[in-house]
Chain A
Amino acid sequence: MPAWRKAGKLTIECVQCLVERVKLDIPTIVVDLRSVYEAKKGHIPGAVSIPITELSAAYEKFPKDKKAPIVLYSYDTKSAIQAFEIISVWGGFTHITVLEGGFEEWKKINGKIATGDMPNRIIWEPRPRPGEISIEEFKAIAERKPADKFILDVRDTEEAENGMLIGAKNIPTQDVPKRFVEIPKDKEIIVHCLTGVRAELAFHALKDAGYKTRFLNAIIKVDPTGRYEITKE
């Protein structure tokens, strides 16, 4: 996927994917490419209005952060792909996707619709993903091991055998829901894996089961003695 994005090739997402993404509160910018008139009559809540007819001159309305997660939609897939191509020419944006089926498909699945005025430029502040713990706080917990925190390592057993944080418990991501009994209910569960991807999955599983939990969204390498190194992409 990173190579695909870097090559500037088209990525798309399904309407249901966008619903899930919003439900999980994952930072997302939604751009409505239809005319302002049409968009005001009904659009995806929170969408920014940038009509495709004005897109070529709208570079300034896009964020400086090239990793900003942007979803483009129009009436259908085809016209949003044209917009994707215009933006590709600018170069650099790596997290732009096209909403498959566009607004028509959104209506079909009964996606939420807002009406009225919309912002006409993107305002983007990168923010942590829901449940993300700062690297500093994670380190402090790993060092001091406070009694009210529980570090859960959700890497595969084979990976954990090559080195784990001292005091952490290993339960591979896919086994977490089967092994809730081993995870204390009265502590905050701090989850980590190797890159943050699996930790985020386990975070959601734990949260849905009623746990107080956060996860480390960074690369962490642990050596056989328990020493570790954390880096952020």
Chain B
Amino acid sequence: MKRFSSTMISLVVALGLFALTGSLAMAQAPKPKILKPCSQCHAPDEKILRGMLGGISQKAETFSVNTGAIWTVKFDDSTKLAGWPPPVGKLPKDKEIAIKFVERNGEIYAESISVKQPARLPEDKVVNTDFVAERVEKGDALIIDSRPAVRFYEGAIPGAINIYDADFDKHIDKLPKDKNKLLVFYCAGPT
């Protein structure tokens, strides 16, 4: 009974809001379901929200997700979780997540949540400092320092050339003609 009445109230409130803002809301674009950076790898899907996890309320069994707009999503014990140890209530904030959802009574329920796994380069494409030191010694690779010039001025791996990552496309001509030559890229981690 209690549940019914609260649903009624929210329905009334929702109708009232709709009456007030309905014409405005209709003129606006629908709320995005996918955060722009996610769309680089994932196609938009009507049944999936992709974005960054906001706050979670364990008591109310809801969390918010930012897809460029903020969505409030309900979950419960039956919500499946992939890519992170359960429970859902303990997911860290700002995780990039995909939510497969269903709509019930105007509310959004998460059927399953999957957490984005950290991007990994294939292991055979990553080298260590000893490997690079050996290339420096033998001179059999082109070493490319991807940092901005200001950082390159302050010291670099011997023999490295500087092509700042953001300008890379403009400097393709600096790469060796021989496409079989090994290229080793490095930077300073995040910028």
Contact = CB atoms under 8 A, between A and B. Distances in A.
Interface of A: 1-4, 7, 9-13, 17-18, 20-21, 24, 26, 28, 69, 71, 95-97, 100, 157-159, 161-162, 172-174, 193-195, 197-198, 200-201, 204, 223-224
B129 A4 contact: yes
A158 B157 contact: no
Interface string B65-100: 010101000000000000000000000011000000
Nearest to B65: A224
Contacts of A1: 145, 147, 151, 156-157, 186-189
Nearest 6 interchain pairs by C-beta: A97-B155, A11-B155, A197-B191, A17-B153, A158-B37, A224-B66
Contact of B68 (A26, A97, A159, A161): A161
A65 to B, nearest CB: 15
A224 B190 contact: no
Most chain A CB inside 10 Å of its own CB: which residue of B35, B40, B70, B191:
B191
Contacts of A159: 37
Contacts of B145: 1
Given A13-B153, A24-B150, A173-B166, A198 B191 contact: yes
Most chain A CB inside 10 Å of its own CB: which residue of B128, B147, B158, B189:
B158
A224 B67 CA distance: 10
Interface string B122-157: 000000111011001000000001011111111111
B167 interface: yes
Given A9-B133, A13-B154, A17-B156, 18 more contacts: A1-B157, A1-B188, A2-B188, A11-B157, A12-B155, A12-B158, A17-B153, A18-B153, A21-B153, A24-B153, A69-B154, A95-B155, A97-B155, A100-B158, A159-B37, A161-B37, A197-B150, A223-B94
B163 interface: no
Most chain B CB inside 10 Å of its own CB: which residue of A10, A11, A28, A224:
A224
Contact of A197 (B93, B148, B153, B167): B148
A34 to B, nearest CB: 21
Given A10-B158, A12-B155, A20 B190 contact: no
Contacts, number: 102
Interface of A is mostly: mixed
Contacts of A17: 152-154, 156
Given A162-B35, A173-B166, A223-B94, A201 B154 contact: no
A69 B136 CA distance: 23
Nearest to B39: A158
Contacts of A198: 148, 191
B150 A201 contact: yes
Contacts of A162: 35, 37, 52, 66
Contact of A158 (B36, B66, B129, B156): B36
B183 to A, nearest CB: 16
Contacts of A71: 155
A70 B149 CA distance: 18
Given A11-B158, A193-B191, A198-B191, A4 B152 contact: no
Contacts of A13: 152-156
B44 interface: no
